[in-house]
Structure 1
Amino acid sequence: MSPTVSPGLDRKGLAIAIGAFVIWGLMPLYWHLLKIVPALQIVAHRVLWSAVLVALWLAWSQARGWFAAILRNRRLAAMLTLAGLCIGLNWSLFIWAVNAGHVVETSLGYFINPLLSVLIGVLFLRERLNALQWTSVGIAACGVLWLTFNYGSFPWIALSLAASFGAYGLIRKLAPVDSVAGLGFENAVLLLPALALLVSQEFSGQGGFLPGASAWGWGVDLLLIFGGALTALPLIGFAYAVRRVPLSTVGLMQYISPTLSFLTGVFFFHEPFDRDRAIGFVFIWIALALFMTDSLRRARAAQAG
């Protein structure tokens, strides 16, 4: 039986949502512990162990026919396959960027993402923007252009992360499927390529998960396994929370993650954050402030009505 959606703030749902965003925001610290492992192998282990955990969750919480039910709906299966490829690309780029010293730029990607999602809604869902929303998008574009021409390089990591996650969000919005079951199918799509990569790397001597001369050690192996839990648990928690916490509140809380990533990049990894980069970020933050102001105003108007 599905839980009842609460019209107000549910303390348990709120706490779980905050926990999910905090975990996502501090993920760079975790992946940095696995810097010895090639990025693609980290992603493959992330897919493998996340798939195991989600499959166990679904076996406990739902009927065993959830996977066959999705397969019978060819359109839904195709949509979730594409979603799986998008999130796989997002995970791969994020982990590579973290371990290549680009944590601050990854945070920029997730600051940009809500604004890019607004544009995706206009282009693909025929949603309309008001003047304040268009202003937000314009200011954010100015920030990206500033970073491109004054910081000295196109922020392709940030924009690629935002685009891949934005496309993933669009597909999942249109796909009529439970959040956890959808994640389970996406993991299944990525599972065979992930297993093929891991097996080939182990047999070629480039892997280190199995015991042997090149083994990374049991500590790294445990971190790789637990990385699957860190992938699945926040998503499951998020799916739980959004049914109990108003979306306007969840929308504001989503900025916890890039804020923590940004602070981690600057103060823990000591990545450069000079005047030119700061100006670009200020443009983005102003755009987000306007965007959040508009979202709160509309949420209050909807509640009043």
Structure 2
Amino acid sequence: MPSSTGSHPASPSTADQASTSASGMALVVGCYVLWGFFPLYFRLLDAAGSVEIIGHRIIWAMVTCLLLIAVRRRWSAIRRLLTTPRLVLSASVSGVLVSVNWLVYVYGVNTGRTADAALGYFINPLVTVALAALVLGERLRPAHRASLALAAAGVGVLVVMQGSLPWISLALAFSFGLYGLVKKRVARQVDALTGLCAETLIVSPVALAYLGWLAAHGQAAVQGPQGSAWLGALLVLAGPVTAAPLLLFAAGTRRVPLSVVGLSQYFAPIIQFLLAWLVFHEEIPPARWAAMVLVWMAVAVFVADALRQLARTPGRSQRP
């Protein structure tokens, strides 16, 4: 309603603001909780190979996005993106990066390395901060430098004690960090649904070609001895399962400060690590525990600094 002078709109009430913030927090937390429990879903698909799963995930995510765009009548947004060369290039790079991220993640989960995947997503925010400093010229605070040093030490411990590079963790952290960097550059021009739709559209020919080749040679999972209507339905469900948390994330980030979103992202790797340890009973050798402790210390420093910064700026709510 207008104010008494008729010149300025009335400010939202405190109750309205609290309700918006609470609903936004529920959406953001819901998104990360769903991501955290993804390993349970992908374990149901282990009759299919990792590449086949990602092929289905790309195709059915694309179909889901197209249906949502049709329902919301957003064809003009996807048309504008696909006729703007710079945005097409950005979507192409994003599509490749997110496909690599999905592939490494599913491979890790279905080969008994969910703990490695969790480690990657613990490291990811720190990689994002490092990329922001290197590429965007953002200034690192002392706490950021300390967090990066601790995380690097954790990776170093794994390399020395295990004699191998934790490539799953690093591939997940860097692919998603680079994906976020590319998305950030076009965030004001492309919404989450349009962006995901374009990304999956662009990489879908490769996915379709691979799935078609498997089917033509009788090597698709549903054609094998473990094939069933249930497995086929789960593969199709990969589309909505992929799209749902991304849409929750997009809706939630409009209602809460980005600092809150940043702190919420640790729900997913915490759940993933607990699943690896307590449900999947993955072997976690001393080197992995030592690395995890160092990374958790890095996360603790990072989160404490974020909370301190948040406390210094009461009432501020940065929006994407």
Q: Indicate whether the TM-score tops 0.5.
A: yes
Specify the SS of the correspondent of 1:303: coil
For residues 155-200 of structure 1, the C-alpha deviation after alignment (integer angstroms, 9 at most, x for no partner) is 1110011010000000000013111100110010121111111111
Indicate the residue corresponding to 1:203 in structure 2: 216
Q: Is the 8 A contact 1:24 1:234 kept in 2?
A: yes
**Distance in 2 (alpha carbons) for counterparts of 1:213 and 1:184:** 31
Matches within 5 A, 1:179-258: 179-209=192-222, 216-258=227-269
Q: Is the 8 A contact 1:207 1:214 kept in 2?
A: no
**Cα distance, 1:272 vs. partner?**
1.2
Moved more, 158-167 or 191-200: 191-200
Indicate the residue corresponding to 1:177 in structure 2: 190
**Distance in 2 (alpha carbons) for counterparts of 1:95 and 1:174:** 27
**Cα distance, 1:10 vs. partner?**
2.1
AA at the equivalent of 1:231: T
**TM-score, length-normalised on structure 2?**
0.89
2:102 to 77, 91, 98: 91
Which consecutive residues of structure 1, in runs of 5 or more, have no partner in the other structure? none
Change (3 A) 1:69 1:148: same
Change (3 A) 1:301 1:55: same
State percent identity of aligned pairs.
36
Larger Rg: 2
2:310 to 295, 299, 302: 299
Specify the SS of the correspondent of 1:10: helix
**TM-score, length-normalised on structure 1?**
0.94
**Cα distance, 1:52 vs. partner?**
0.8
1:134 to 124, 133, 145: 145
Specify the SS of the correspondent of 1:239: helix
Q: Is 1:152–2:163 an aligned residue pair?
A: yes
The alignment's C-alpha RMSD in Å is: 1.7
**Cα distance, 1:304 vs. partner?**
6.2
**Cα distance, 1:49 vs. partner?**
0.9
Q: Is the 8 A contact 2:118 2:270 kept in 1?
A: yes
Q: Is the 8 A contact 1:7 1:246 kept in 2?
A: no
AA at the equivalent of 1:222: A
**Distance in 2 (alpha carbons) for counterparts of 1:229 and 1:304:** 36
For residues 61-86 of structure 1, the C-alpha deviation after alignment (integer angstroms, 9 at most, x for no partner) is 24322222012211111011100000
AA at the equivalent of 2:97: C
**Cα distance, 1:269 vs. partner?**
1.2
Matches within 5 A, 1:30-45: 30-45=41-56
For residues 65-123 of structure 1, the C-alpha deviation after alignment (integer angstroms, 9 at most, x for no partner) is 22220122111110111000000001011111111111100000000000000000001
**Distance in 1 (alpha carbons) for counterparts of 2:143 and 2:221:** 52
2:122 to 85, 91, 111: 111
Change (3 A) 1:223 1:167: same
Q: Is the 8 A contact 1:7 1:245 kept in 2?
A: no
